[in-house]
Amino acid sequence: MTENSTAAPRRIVGLGGTFRQASSSERIVRAVLAECAAMGAETVMFDGPALAALPHFNPEQAERTAEELALVEAVRMADGIVIGSPGYHGGYSGLVKNAIDLLEDLRGDARVYFDGRPVGLVVTAAGWQACGTTLSALRDVVHAMRGWPTPVGVGVNSVEQRPFAPDGSLIDEAVARAVRAQAEQIMGFRVEARA
């Protein structure tokens, strides 16, 4: 493995969360971004309301809104991505999938979709089963889009663990360790030099 040649800060893009004010999936994605920022990254977050501003993806619609262009461009320029979803009915949410489908706009890029980039995955759910199934489903999506899911996925049982203080800060040490480990894997990711 070789070092990336750029000395510029890594750009890490987070996307995910729900409409809920205290969205746990959004908070965990933000926690991963904060760890990446502490390691020198520039970060940007597309949270639940930002994803809700995206129209339903229509493959026959060529025009893009400013919100759509902003997300596509951010992912295009990203060195790493963090995707967070609640477990909804055993899978990831429609809000998150709609945003991912918009990334079809990256299909013509030299670096197509998530190609060559690490993708950290975060799921919160009311039960462990949905944590596992949703993480697994998201990994399949990242593989399909040529990304590299980090070995550490963060699954949080939002009923059993209650990892946040009333001010939203992360107080569960096990979750914090997983968040840190994922951030280290994103920031430590090196792309093989291509001939």
Q: Whose Cβ is closer to ligand FMN: residue 54's or residue 122's?
A: 122
- Binding residue for ligand FMN (CB under 6 A) from 34, 52, 88, 101? 88
C-alpha to C-alpha distance for 150 and 190, rounded to whole angstroms:
12
Q: Which stretch binds ligand FMN (CB under 6 A): 17-25, 38-46, 68-76, 180-188?
A: 17-25
Contact at 8 Å (CB) between 106 and 112?
yes
User: Does residue number 162 form part of the binding site for ligand FMN (CB under 6 A)?
Assistant: no
Q: Which stretch binds ligand FMN (CB under 6 A): 58-66, 80-88, 135-143, 183-191?
A: 80-88
Nearest Cα to Cα of residue 122 among 23, 195, 8: 23
C-alpha to C-alpha distance for 44 and 168, rounded to whole angstroms:
19
Q: Which two tokens stand for residue 61?
A: 């619609």
Contact at 8 Å (CB) between 41 and 6?
no
Minimum CB distance to ligand FMN, residue 26 (Å): 6
Contact at 8 Å (CB) between 139 and 83?
no
Nearest Cα to Cα of residue 173 among 187, 156, 159, 185: 156
Residues linked to residue 80 through DSSP beta bridges, in sequence order: 12
List the interface residues with ligand FMN, window 102-131 (CB under 6 A).
124-127, 130
- Binding residue for ligand FMN (CB under 6 A) from 99, 158, 187, 189? 158
Q: Which stretch binds ligand FMN (CB under 6 A): 83-91, 108-116, 174-182, 186-194?
A: 83-91
User: Does residue number 20 form part of the binding site for ligand FMN (CB under 6 A)?
Assistant: yes
Q: What residues make contact with ligand FMN under the rule CB under 6 A?
A: 17-18, 20, 23-26, 86-90, 124-127, 130, 158
